[in-house]
Structure 1
Amino acid sequence: MPFWAQKLEKTNLYAKQISPRGGDLDCELRGDRVIMRGRAVTYLRGQISL
């Protein structure tokens, strides 16, 4: 988000996934944070041991 916000001189971006499953994502740059809005589905769960 920071990269594209700077390139496009915008703090709000909207992305659309063009595929059979589809998807929409709203992103907002607020200082050093990115606020993301959209719908999500869990497709994988796991555990990592270090």
Structure 2
Amino acid sequence: MPASPKLLDQVCETLRIPHGSTRTERAALDWIKRFILHCDKCHSAEMGTEVFGSLP
């Protein structure tokens, strides 16, 4: 059974639309990476709504 694509790979595929900007893709990936690090790399199933309220 093949492994499912990683989250950031899935985001890249979604953002790669016709006439899409690579700069927008990189910015979105940067924000996602920051959020993952902010949450101490916890799985989304383990997080509650308070995580989203604690963002700067």
Higher-RCO chain (CA-CA 8 Å, sequence separation at least 6): 1
Q: Same fold (TM over 0.5)?
A: no
Q: TM-score range by the shorter chain?
A: under 0.3
Larger radius of gyration: 1
Under a length normalisation based on structure 2, what TM-score does the superposition of the two structures give?
0.21
More helix by share: 2
Under a length normalisation based on structure 1, what TM-score does the superposition of the two structures give?
0.22
